[in-house]
Structure 1
Amino acid sequence: MDNPANTWFGLGATARAVLSDPAGSPLGERALGVAEVVVPSLDDAADARPLVVALARVGVTATTSGADWARYGWLDVDSNLPDFRIVLGGPEENDAARELIERAGEEYASVLKTHGAVWVPALTPLAEVWQPGADLRDLRALPALVVADAAALVADLADARIGAVCPSEVVDQLADHTVALLSFGLPGFAVDTTGALHLSLMRSCTGWPSGVWIDPPRRTLPDGASFQLQHWTHEFSYALVGGPGDWRSQTLPAQGQEFNHPLYARIAPPQDGPLPATLSWLRIEPQREVLLGALKPAGNPIAHGSAAAVGRELAVRLVESTGLGRTAELGGALGLSHLRPADLLERPLGEAVERVDLAGSQIATLLAAPGVAAEPGGPVLGPVAEPAQPVHARYWLHNRGPAPLGYLPVSVGASPGLLRTDGEAVELSVALSSQLRDAAVEGTAVVLPPEGWRTSLGSRPYRLEPGGHLRFPVTLTPPAEALPGLHFAAVRIVHDGQEIEDVVTIAVGDLPGLLPVPGDTPEDWTIAQGTKATTGRDTGLDVAVSEEALRVTPGGRTTLGLTLTNRTRGEIRGELQLVSPWGTWEAIADPVRGFTVAAGSSSTVDFEIAAPESTDPGAYWALAKVMWFGRCQYAPTVALEVEA
């Protein structure tokens, strides 16, 4: 079956059964991957939980079924297949154990009685039964471990090995070697019954909804294909690794992380004397067996609706990657101290510890105090405000994706979003709201009417209690000579260094009433599929690109020009994003920016594209996304070719 491949996948043993005959002579080992745990009745399923957890810790997926109910291993209804069974309870209490022992023979009953467990081999090798349309519900279709004491089996699993006695020859013996592919999170993999490893390089959906363009004009790749068909240059990187032992011996989780996060070389500044003995800010022991999942400032006050600042503590997330359990210690130049266990919300759970005992496959969060402090006036980690200001309060209307920086804990809304008038005054309802739960917030809401219009309220000071909101009306009166067309009224606040505004569109006269601009032809007033993103009659903003195709050499530069033409009666403010496929992002240093276009005028924005020297030749594309006042448009797609 096809499965997601995160950073690696391989062929080897997840866990193993170490088999011997009744006299104690070794018979070999059998790899364990996916288990069916058969309990006497589904009423007993809860009793199997410690065993299922123990299997999961060492990497074995398990599904619990009952001897008296539907069984696992039929591809007509199941999404995957088990490769062995564990039958809990002897023949006296589990009907599945009774049937299995009866069919296997008296010698298996004798071993079970003497040793408390017995390994019953399958009648047919696994490769012959793992086939399309497989039905493995028959008890002899898979090898099975019948065990009377589940607690003893849980204890035996601590080293990812199960010791078992088998009175006959064992098929499907383990070759104790592992082969794996390291990848960059490719979409899927499969290992077939011959041992061949298959890797899916691309996967896409060409149907609904991702393959459908809802708002005209439809945008496509330069060759006319849907974006989902991925008709451009792709680079796939993966590495083949292998060696004796299982995935733990090869430290494959660490190898996958290292392949996905290569070291970046930097030129060290000149200094007196030799370089320090270690340049590591953080070391985790045992290396490559306990991995770093996250290192970040502790806490996220905004997620709790808090106005508190992020503290000085750091959150360290550790991942036990062997399934066997390890004791972790932290070192390095950060000088982390006062380690305290924390929950997933990074709230402390207990007293400080010197080292951390991790169970198999455990993910643990710690709070720690760094022993070094940031230098005064040092760099701020990451931006603190959006590059495009003001921020539109209803950002989701821009098909923007994530919320703006800061998550807008204090926001403003004006409604209705669209008004029509033949010259009469119109009224807006303005709402201010705070998501902060532990602090009041104060500020001033500023009303920005269309040019020449009168407003009943130019500004409104406000104070919002924790979790509070308020609403107030605003009346806008047009001048007697108000011209037909689209006008815009905004209400704006400032919070935490960002301007946040909501905008209402006011249509005066018959629609569309939009402005022609010099150089227009009748064709400009129809919906075009060529170099215009939309027409004036559609949204009020035309978007045109300077070129249909751009070419650049490695180390060279070129420019994509975007001309914005405002056919409305008001100034348009918005945000531009230049979208391009992975592999070109380094070439576009400044893909996000704000823009302003005065009424009835045009403005050109240039995006510089500078291909690094290391860029491989290939065919790509770029698409400008234009967002303004709750609207979203896309410019025509431009072909971007990197020439040799």
Structure 2
Amino acid sequence: MGELCEVVQEITLRKGIKRVDFRTILVDVQSEDYLYCVTFPTNLEGVVPVFDERFGVVSRNESKGYLDFRTHRQIMFSDCAVYAANKWMEYGPNAAVAVGKNRYALNMVGLVTPKRKRDIAVGEELQRRLVRKGVTCTPWYDTHGPRWGTYQDHMDDDLLYTRFRISLGCTGKNTYTQRLLDVQRPSVRKAFSKHLAQNGFAFLLVKDGDFLDPSWPALPVLLIEATNASLLEHACNALLKGFDETAVMMLPDEADAIGEPHAVDDYGIAVLNVGTYANSIERGGTICMLLNHTCRWYGGTNNFPEGYLVPENRHHVYTYALYPHAGDWRQARAQHAGHEFNHPLMARQVRPAANPCLPPEKAFLKVEPANVILAAMKPWGNPIAAFERRAKADPTKGVMLRLYDTEGVASKAHIAFASRVVTAWSGNLLEERGEDLAVERDSLSVPLAPFSIETVGFVPRPMPAKYPRRALGPQREPVQPVWVRSWEHDAESMPMGYEPVVASISREVREEDGGRTLRLRVNVVNDYTDAAASGEARLYVPEGWRVEPERIAYVVEPLGYQPTEITVHRPTADAAGQIKLRFDHDGQTFQDVLEMGAAFDLDMSVKHEGQHIVVALRNPTAEAVESEVALASPIETWPQALVGTHALGPITPRTQAVALGPGEKTWLVFKVGPMAHEELVGEPSYWAVVKLMTNGRIHLQRCDWRPPARHLDDDRWSRRYAEHVKARKGHQRRGTTD
């Protein structure tokens, strides 16, 4: 690593918390086409990769090789197994097949059936039960095609995503089952036939290593054979008895034809992440978390005058944690550990109230059992997103809870509240109110189907004291006027408030009088669903031009629009100028501009001056121009209040407004804050892109900061770190902190 970058590694143990927290800083990464990752070798036996899939948990497979990530789009040329872990992944037990003293991980199943209707129906029920325990299941016909739910031609083509096979059928019709039976010892075949004749069904656990590609390891295969479809269904039901609760299929001792000892360790190791989604388990049981890939942005298409951008060329900060535990992830509540790591408790020291209305210790609400996660709590309804002007998000009139099941089990979520609940009801994802729910002793019981997401609303008892309403964040865009066509400036999705009322100038222009008279249309659209919109839009044209009408009053009914024809007179047919339209709504000013005859752009240059990025702007045109200048930079340069421990040195502000008259100049300054851990990290290292947005166009300029090349050997870094620790102890003795 010393040839590519320096590494600062912080390891933190917290009293009473059973995890190991890490903070890794990659210092001044300057390479291209390298993949950086963190690995944790393990000695676990028989376990499987388990991934948090946002609203469920799924077991996966290991990579065929070791740290070989040759891929293109969805194609894994190296048969690597990289998956997205929303908040956590682990290497541990999930589901298993138990036979005698042996256990085999039940994971990424290939389900093989004949093309017979009743056999397929039994297989589909088995598939449903497996999926509920996070075991993916790819169905195949025994003749390899036509495909049943898959796009591969042969089930051996899917070995990267198959770690176990189940082959079922009746009366010898499954050719895959028969092929595997034919290669068993005569005594095994005889015993299997005897059980089949006596019981009407039989199980046999074998191995299959006769693949199209012999480099793949052999797979365990569970054969389920019956004399008719009813007994096949009975056999699968017997196999699945207790599986929903234990995630273990129990086989009789005599069903094991593999003849080798095999165990599944009853403990696991989870890796909790904050934004580092790409994870894998490499061959041999090494946990791997991918950090970054130093590649050119958009393939190096020269989006910038300064050349291509490699976004990973900078300082990087990563936070993650190890969570070792006994038992499987369900018993260890790994899903809760992932949420707790991503959403740590925020403590605030406040002055006690003279007449407190809350006890010293109390939970606002408590959710049980452990398989249920409370994912969101907010005032009921979405009036802004629903374009409802009259409705307000008021928690005294309703609070929304969103719950989901993580373990694939049908259960009842028990919600206990700290104080009395007036009423409660069920809802949907759009927060439309459904049936009323019974409230008993200030608690609710909500049925949850496996992996379901449920929405519940309730009205809490009014607080004894009334508190003033406070805005939780900004209520308007920092730059005014707001460009109504926000997508043209690539300025996120929509401005604050979602633009429920928009006035804009049509881009269809009819010329008359040789081009001196322009016929245009101004459209006012009201997206509110429950209220009319009224106001006034005003048009501005260059000196010497005339517009009729200059002011447009509008009253637009819900979901309606109002078109207004306007006429613009310009002095000559080739006169260039801007036709501007402005209107106010909910405390913000919006603007649309139609340019005629020329583009009205500002000249921009960018440079560093000490701890500042200075943007010089000049208006070379004959008219006033309103623009926005934003700075795009890595997360490590964002304020600590936004990104916590990922912050190294903030660059502020994020965006600024500029309005220049003809020939005017100005300078905008973005301040580069002091570096955290400067004694370890050294100088700043970041890329920065200044983005000038004017009348629907974007101009970009780079302004990166790179320290001189430096690669420390271990001894020099150790001495620097020792000096850092000594300095911290000195601060603590003096009663200060750094």
Q: Deviations along 1:538-558, whole A, 9 cap, x unmatched?
A: x520122351x65xxxxxxx4
Report percent identity of matched pairs: 27
Q: Deviations along 1:463-510, whole A, 9 cap, x unmatched?
A: 223322232222222358x9x985221122333333222111123xxx
Work out whether 1:590 is the aligned partner of 2:643. Answer: no
**How far apart are the structure 1 equivalents of 2:360 and 2:689?**
48
In structure 2, what is the equivalent of residue 469 of structure 1?
A: 561
> Contact between 2:95 and 2:133, CA under 8 Å: does it hold in 1?
yes
Distance 1:152 1:496, change over 3 A: farther
Cα offset, 1:414, TM superposition = 1.1
What's the secondary structure of 1:505's corresponding residue?
Answer: strand
Counterpart of 1:340, as a letter, is W
> Contact between 1:486 and 1:568, CA under 8 Å: does it hold in 2?
no
In structure 2, what is the equivalent of residue 323 of structure 1?
A: 408
Work out whether 1:41 is the aligned partner of 2:126. Answer: no
**How far apart are the structure 2 equivalents of 1:311 and 1:345?**
14
In structure 2, what is the equivalent of residue 540 of structure 1?
A: 601
Cα offset, 1:612, TM superposition = 7.1
> Contact between 1:51 and 1:153, CA under 8 Å: does it hold in 2?
no
Distance 1:331 1:108, change over 3 A: same
> Contact between 2:87 and 2:277, CA under 8 Å: does it hold in 1?
no
Work out whether 1:291 is the aligned partner of 2:381. Answer: no
> Contact between 2:144 and 2:155, CA under 8 Å: does it hold in 1?
no
Distance 1:443 1:606, change over 3 A: same
> Contact between 1:42 and 1:66, CA under 8 Å: does it hold in 2?
no
Work out whether 1:178 is the aligned partner of 2:241. Answer: no
In structure 2, what is the equivalent of residue 410 of structure 1?
A: 501
Which residues of 2 match residues 8-47 of structure 1 at below 5 A?
8-20=88-100, 27-41=101-115, 43=117, 45=120
Distance 1:256 1:267, change over 3 A: same
Alignment match of 1:622 (pick from 676, 688, 703): 688
Work out whether 1:213 is the aligned partner of 2:302. Answer: yes
**How far apart are the structure 2 equivalents of 1:595 and 1:336?**
51
In structure 2, what is the equivalent of residue 606 of structure 1?
A: 669
> Contact between 1:119 and 1:166, CA under 8 Å: does it hold in 2?
no
What's the secondary structure of 1:625's corresponding residue?
Answer: strand
Q: Deviations along 1:251-275, whole A, 9 cap, x unmatched?
A: 1111112222222332222445999
**How far apart are the structure 2 equivalents of 1:114 and 1:611?**
80
Distance 1:103 1:77, change over 3 A: closer
Alignment match of 1:156 (pick from 208, 232, 242): 242
Aligned length: 584
> Contact between 2:509 and 2:520, CA under 8 Å: does it hold in 1?
no
Moved more, 413-422 or 183-192: 413-422
**How far apart are the structure 1 equivalents of 2:112 and 2:402?**
36
> Contact between 2:167 and 2:221, CA under 8 Å: does it hold in 1?
no
Counterpart of 2:243, as a letter, is L
> Contact between 2:294 and 2:310, CA under 8 Å: does it hold in 1?
no
In structure 1, what is the equivalent of residue 220 of structure 2?
A: 142
Cα offset, 1:433, TM superposition = 1.9
Work out whether 1:632 is the aligned partner of 2:698. Answer: yes
**How far apart are the structure 2 equivalents of 1:455 and 1:96?**
81
In structure 2, what is the equivalent of residue 348 of structure 1?
A: 433
**How far apart are the structure 2 equivalents of 1:595 and 1:76?**
62
In structure 1, what is the equivalent of residue 205 of structure 2?
A: 121
> Contact between 1:75 and 1:81, CA under 8 Å: does it hold in 2?
no
In structure 2, what is the equivalent of residue 478 of structure 1?
A: 570
Which residues of 2 match residues 325-340 of structure 1 at below 5 A?
325-333=410-418, 338-340=423-425
**How far apart are the structure 1 equivalents of 2:130 and 2:476?**
47
What's the secondary structure of 2:685's corresponding residue?
Answer: strand
> Contact between 1:319 and 1:364, CA under 8 Å: does it hold in 2?
yes
Moved more, 431-440 or 53-62: 431-440
Q: Deviations along 1:570-611, whole A, 9 cap, x unmatched?
A: 222232322210122112453133332222201222233434
What's the secondary structure of 2:268's corresponding residue?
Answer: strand
Cα offset, 1:145, TM superposition = 4.7
Cα offset, 1:329, TM superposition = 2.4
Distance 1:379 1:32, change over 3 A: same
In structure 2, what is the equivalent of residue 531 of structure 1?
A: none
What's the secondary structure of 1:80's corresponding residue?
Answer: helix
In structure 2, what is the equivalent of residue 241 of structure 1?
A: 323
**How far apart are the structure 1 equivalents of 2:354 and 2:211?**
66
**How far apart are the structure 1 equivalents of 2:214 and 2:536?**
68
Q: Deviations along 1:278-325, whole A, 9 cap, x unmatched?
A: 254343223x54222122232324544544424432221112223334
- Residue ranges of structure 2 left out of the alignment (5+ in a row): 1-80, 226-231, 439-443, 640-649, 711-723, 725-738
Q: CA RMSD in A?
A: 3.6
Counterpart of 1:476, as a letter, is V
Counterpart of 1:542, as a letter, is D
Alignment match of 2:447 (pick from 357, 361, 369): 357
Cα offset, 1:202, TM superposition = 1.2
**How far apart are the structure 1 equivalents of 2:419 and 2:685?**
44
- Normalised TM-score (structure 2): 0.71
In structure 1, what is the equivalent of residue 228 of structure 2?
A: none
> Contact between 1:334 and 1:372, CA under 8 Å: does it hold in 2?
no
**How far apart are the structure 1 equivalents of 2:498 and 2:203?**
57
Distance 1:411 1:79, change over 3 A: farther
> Contact between 2:267 and 2:326, CA under 8 Å: does it hold in 1?
yes
Cα offset, 1:340, TM superposition = 2.2
**How far apart are the structure 1 equivalents of 2:276 and 2:430?**
30
In structure 1, what is the equivalent of residue 6 of structure 2?
A: none
Distance 1:135 1:90, change over 3 A: farther
Distance 1:54 1:635, change over 3 A: same
Cα offset, 1:405, TM superposition = 1.5
> Contact between 2:687 and 2:702, CA under 8 Å: does it hold in 1?
no
Cα offset, 1:560, TM superposition = 2.9
**How far apart are the structure 1 equivalents of 2:421 and 2:549?**
54
**How far apart are the structure 1 equivalents of 2:212 and 2:474?**
54
More helix by share: 2
Distance 1:151 1:369, change over 3 A: farther
Distance 1:285 1:158, change over 3 A: same
**How far apart are the structure 1 equivalents of 2:241 and 2:621?**
74
**How far apart are the structure 1 equivalents of 2:299 and 2:374?**
35
Cα offset, 1:418, TM superposition = 9.0
> Contact between 1:101 and 1:109, CA under 8 Å: does it hold in 2?
no
**How far apart are the structure 2 equivalents of 1:241 and 1:212?**
42
> Contact between 2:584 and 2:590, CA under 8 Å: does it hold in 1?
yes
**How far apart are the structure 2 equivalents of 1:87 and 1:81?**
16
Cα offset, 1:57, TM superposition = 1.9
**How far apart are the structure 2 equivalents of 1:499 and 1:218?**
33
**How far apart are the structure 1 equivalents of 2:697 and 2:481?**
15
What's the secondary structure of 1:402's corresponding residue?
Answer: coil
> Contact between 1:419 and 1:504, CA under 8 Å: does it hold in 2?
no
> Contact between 1:426 and 1:475, CA under 8 Å: does it hold in 2?
yes
Work out whether 1:277 is the aligned partner of 2:360. Answer: yes
- Normalised TM-score (structure 1): 0.80
Cα offset, 1:141, TM superposition = 4.2
Cα offset, 1:61, TM superposition = 0.9
Cα offset, 1:204, TM superposition = 6.0
